[in-house]
Amino acid sequence: MGKLAVFVQALSNYGVFIMLLSKMKEGQIGIIVRVGGNGALRRRVLEMGLTKGTEIYVEKYAPLKDPLELIIKGYHISLRVEEAANITVDKL
Amino acid sequence: MHKKNITIALAGNPNSGKTTIFNNITGTRQKVGNWPGVTVEKKEGSVSKYGHDLKIIDLPGTYSLTPFSIEEIVARDFVIEESPDVVIDIIDASNLERSLYLATQLRELDCKVLFALNMADVATSRGTKIDANKLSELLDVPVVFTIGNKNTGIDSLLKAAIKLAESKSKISQKRKVKYSNDIENSISKLQSFIEERIEQNLPYNIRWTTIKLLENDKIVREHIRQKTGNKSLEIFREVGTHRKHLLDRFDEDPEIVMTDERYGFIAGIIKEVVTKSTKRRVDTSRNVDLVLTNRFVGFPIFILFIWIMFQTTFAVGSYPMEWIDSGVNWLAAILEPSLPDSLFKDLLLNGIIAGVGSVIIFLPNILILFLFIAIFEDTGYMARAAFLMDKIMHLIGLHGKSFIPMLMGFGCSVPAIMATRTLESNKDRILTILITPFMSCSAKLPIYILLAGTFFSAKAGTVIFLIYITGIILSIITGRLFRSTLFKGADAPFVMELPPYRVPMIKSLIIHMWDRSKMFLKKMGGIILVGSVIVWMLTAFPRHINYSMDYNEEINNINASFTEKQKKAAITKLKLAEKAEKTEKSFMGRIGKTIAPVFAPIGIDWRGSVALLTGFVAKEIVVSTFGILYAAEETDEPDALKNALLSSEMTSLSALSLMIFVLLYLPCVATIATIRRETGSLKWTLFSIVYSTSIAWAAAFCIYQGGKILGLT
């Protein structure tokens, strides 16, 4: 687990509903708090509309549990679990 | 009336219906080629309308103009460098928010932009209403409604484009994205700093250039370096100061903040132009997807679709293949008696007709395969196939979409490699092209059947299966190896849109299929023709051979003695021996004998090396070369070749080694031509040839020598 993941885990232990997108379950809704990760990947994720404050709905995981499908800004997008682990969300 | 030329570029997101609109405007008057220097497809078409000659250019579908992928660089460069008269941005109305990201980037470039709000009917049916006038007013851009798949609104779109191109008014500088105060401050300060330091005008809009420099855009930096010479250092230092300032202020890279703010700006527009009804509606596409990517039935359905594609391509395709084959034979049979025996006749029949025949025989496969790929792509299923397969493919370091080309490789590498065009990242594309030839193609099967059938009789099926598995394992090893060496660095991110399912348009499918096939016939034909003529020359020359005996005289001698039946058999035998000796003493045979020492450590004799050399034209030929060299033709006596092989020096171990070598060594000339075309690089083509052949030799060496040590024969 990276530093961020440890931090997020600690927060959720205190009842703050902030978690990594990769830990969300099918059918859950959240709002993006932060998009991490390095240069090109991060920019690409942002440009596809996964910006701070965007509402996301976890539509489903692929049969092999990776990648996952989200609905954002009215369209469907898929991300690998490892990429979703860079995104922090506020679970609703 | 004087006709005026107008260049119109079509920009838009993938799946925005851009291609449909392009097809509707240009019909079949399209030219498909590549953008200079890269293997991104370039489509253009011309049409005369309303007294103007319109040249329409279909830019690659992109989500943004940030130069990360080749498609984005190509699209942006075209707009900046070629300055088309008008850029039409095709916007998927049912996906307005994300589509506006590209739109705002186009708006920031200094070009005349026009929005086509496409598929507004879909948006309406989903309960979304868009106020086009308001959108037009807010961004100061003309907006036209279109429904691409029903061909409505195209005429008014073209009229609006012509009107915009003719208008003398300057491109409005207002109504572009407004950033927050800190960023706007930096932009205006940096902008005047640059303006003071350049004598001649920059070719591009100065505000845009400034923004790109703040975003640390490598391509724009390079342009500035070239334009301003030694003053660039000063400019870059100033850019660095501003970037540092913004980084401190926002605790984020400026390009990240600006991406955020662009979406913020878009959110503001959406609020004003879109009204959503809250009524819940049935989302057919979503329901279909719940089945097709279902945890339990998703994979079985996927396998079924692939199986249907495979079966149709190679089983149904085999009928037209037979017709083409008999057509070619018919042509040869007609020409045979009507031409006098000459070198030209030999060249025409055995070189050109046989060579071209071996190419066009693939046409039915190509047509059917690309029809399926077009259906998968146009319905939106291709993205789901990638979604299902990505986990597995990611283990090899590839993208989910690489699965289709690799699978097709079991049929024929030529269409398989052409199918890599569906991959967006160039790295993924080249890696997939490099490993696809390890998927044992159907032309190699006759060789396995002959050798395994001869030497492993009852276990032949298992042996052939293991050979296929070896190919798959080596492709996985190769993929992982290259990912961690030649293609080092992060994988292309799997941030992929899953577009709604749509009913494909027949017209688009046919255009898609025809484009591919035309390309195949035109480009491959030339190279394969040359290749087969060369191989023909090597086997046909030298014309005069010193035979070990005078076959004609021997044949005459026979005539005098035996009974009819014995005579016929003896003559056939002599004729075959003559043919074998002719091949042995031709240039091809001599080359085979010269390189035979290379093959000795893997248990292949000179006959094997000649057969492998001829396999360069097409793998099927290997079997017929064996037939000639062992003086046995299968048509006369079904088991003749088998018996000849069994009584030769070949052992089951050397047969296995030969099969492994055939599995892995250099692909046929058609495949090489395709690799050359699709990688666009001679370097990668040569690399592929050398790599596959070395692996083939190494693997065969291990098997042969290892087997010998273990005492197997």
Find the largest Cα–Cα distance for chain B: 109
How would residue B84 be classed by pLDDT, with cut points 50, 70 and 90? very high
Convert the pLDDT of each residue in B172-222 to its tens digit: 666 678 899 999 999 999 999 988 887 666 667 888 889 999 998 888 888
User: Dihedrals φ, ψ of B58, to 5°?
Assistant: -90, 105
Convert the pLDDT of each residue in B595-637 to its tens digit: 889 999 999 988 888 889 888 877 877 877 777 777 655 445 5
Does the predicted interface ipTM exceed a cut of 0.85?
yes
Per-residue pLDDT at B113: 92
Q: Which residue has the higher pLDDT, B589 or B361?
A: B589
- Where helices occur in B521-668 by DSSP H, the ranges are 525-540, 551-561, 564-585, 587-599, 606-614, 620-629, 640-647, 652-664
How would residue B560 be classed by pLDDT, with cut points 50, 70 and 90? low
Q: Which residue has the higher pLDDT, B182 or B343?
A: B182
Q: Measured between beta carbons, which residues in chain A are less than 8 angstroms from residue B500?
A: 76
Residue A12: pLDDT over 60: yes
Per-residue pLDDT at B491: 63
- Best mean pLDDT range from A11-20, B409-418, B550-559: B409-418
CA angle B33, B318, B345 (to 5 degrees): 75
Convert the pLDDT of each residue in B561-583 to its tens digit: 667 777 777 777 777 777 778 87
**Average pLDDT of the residues in B114-132:** 88
Rg over CA atoms, chain A: 12
Tell me the pTM: 0.82
CA–CA separation, B139 and B426 (whole Å):
35
Which structure tokens are listed for B578?
A: 């003559």
Q: With an 8 Å Cβ cutoff, is A38 touching chain B?
A: yes
Convert the pLDDT of each residue in B280-295 to its tens digit: 667 889 999 999 999 9
pLDDT > 70: percent of chain B: 92
Per-residue pLDDT at B535: 76
Q: Which residue has the higher pLDDT, B310 or B693?
A: B693
Per-residue pLDDT at B426: 81
* Eight-state DSSP code of residue B147: B
Per-residue pLDDT at B319: 87
pLDDT > 90: percent of chain B: 30
Residue B689: pLDDT over 70: yes
Q: Which of B117, B151, B152, B165 is nearest to B8 (CA)?
A: B165
CA–CA separation, A48 and B565 (whole Å):
80
* Of B260, B298, B500, Cβ closest to residue A46: B260
Residue B242: pLDDT over 80: yes
Q: Which residue has the higher pLDDT, A91 or B101?
A: B101
**Interface touch A63/B388, C-beta < 8 Å:** yes
User: Dihedrals φ, ψ of B495, to 5°?
Assistant: -95, 95
What is the rounded average pLDDT for all residues in chain B? 84
Q: Are the CB atoms for A20 and A9 separated by under 8 Å? A: no
Residue A30: pLDDT over 80: yes
Per-residue pLDDT at B457: 80
In chain B, whose CA is at the least distance from the CA of A73?
A: B97
The secondary element (H helix, E strand) that includes residue B506 is helix B506-519
Q: Nearest-CA distance from B394 to chain A in Å?
A: 10
Q: Are the CB atoms for B384 and B293 separated by under 8 Å? A: yes
Convert the pLDDT of each residue in B444-458 to its tens digit: 887 888 888 888 888
Q: Which residue has the higher pLDDT, B410 or B475?
A: B475
Residue B523: pLDDT over 60: no
Q: Which residues of B touch A (CB under 8 A)?
A: 63-64, 66, 68, 94-98, 101, 128, 255-256, 259-260, 263-264, 286, 289-290, 293-296, 298-299, 383, 387-388, 390-392, 394, 490, 493-500
Topology of domain B181-276 in CATH is Helix Hairpins (1.10.287)
**Average pLDDT of the residues in B327-344:** 84
Q: Measured between beta carbons, which residues in chain B are less than 8 angstroms from residue A40?
A: 68, 490, 493
Per-residue pLDDT at B1: 46
Q: With an 8 Å Cβ cutoff, is A25 touching chain B?
A: no
**Average pLDDT of the residues in B646-657:** 87
Convert the pLDDT of each residue in B420-450 to its tens digit: 877 877 888 899 999 999 998 877 887 888 8
* Count of all residues that appear for chain A in the document: 92
Q: Which residue has the higher pLDDT, B694 or B310?
A: B694
Q: Which of A82, A32, A72, A71 is nearest to A49 (CA)?
A: A72
Per-residue pLDDT at B634: 45
* Of B260, B295, B494, Cβ closest to residue A67: B494
**Interface touch A60/B293, C-beta < 8 Å:** yes
Per-residue pLDDT at A18: 84
**Interface touch A47/B256, C-beta < 8 Å:** no
Helix H, strand E, coil C: the string for B168-202 is CCCCCCCCCCCCCHHHHHHHHHHHHHHHHHCCCCC
Task: Look at residue B711 and give its three-state secondary structure.
Answer: coil
Convert the pLDDT of each residue in B142-155 to its tens digit: 999 999 888 888 99
Interface test with A, best of B94, B382, B495 (most A CBs within 10 A): B495
Which structure tokens are listed for B574?
A: 């002599």
Per-residue pLDDT at B115: 95
Residue B556: pLDDT over 90: no
Per-residue pLDDT at B469: 87
**Interface touch B64/A47, C-beta < 8 Å:** yes
**Interface touch B97/A49, C-beta < 8 Å:** yes
Which structure tokens are listed for B322?
A: 């037979």
Residue B239: pLDDT over 90: yes
- Domains plus CATH for chain A? 3-91 (2.30.30.90)
Q: Measured between beta carbons, which residues in chain B are less than 8 angstroms from residue A43?
A: 66, 68, 255-256, 259
Residue A53: pLDDT over 80: yes
Distance of CA B244 to the CA centre of its chain: 43
How would residue A87 be classed by pLDDT, with cut points 50, 70 and 90? very high
How would residue B321 be classed by pLDDT, with cut points 50, 70 and 90? confident
Give the start-to-end residue ranges of the domains of chain B.
Answer: 4-166, 181-276
Which structure tokens are listed for B358?
A: 């071996």
Per-residue pLDDT at B3: 64
CA–CA separation, B604 and B395 (whole Å):
36
Q: Measured between beta carbons, which residues in chain B are less than 8 angstroms from residue A78?
A: 383, 387, 494-498
CA–CA separation, B183 and B211 (whole Å):
9
Name the residue type at position B687.
F
Convert the pLDDT of each residue in B344-403 to its tens digit: 888 888 777 776 776 677 778 778 877 888 898 889 998 899 899 999 888 888 888 888
Q: Which residue has the higher pLDDT, B711 or A80?
A: A80
* CATH architecture group of domain B4-166: 3-Layer(aba) Sandwich (3.40)
CA–CA separation, B474 and B694 (whole Å):
13
**Average pLDDT of the residues in B230-249:** 91
**Average pLDDT of the residues in B639-647:** 77
Q: Which of A33, A74, A88, A54 is nearest to B99 (CA)?
A: A74
What is the rounded average pLDDT for all residues in chain A? 86
Cβ atoms within 10 A of the Cβ of B290, count? 13
Residue A6: pLDDT over 60: yes
How would residue B127 be classed by pLDDT, with cut points 50, 70 and 90? confident
**Average pLDDT of the residues in B98-117:** 91
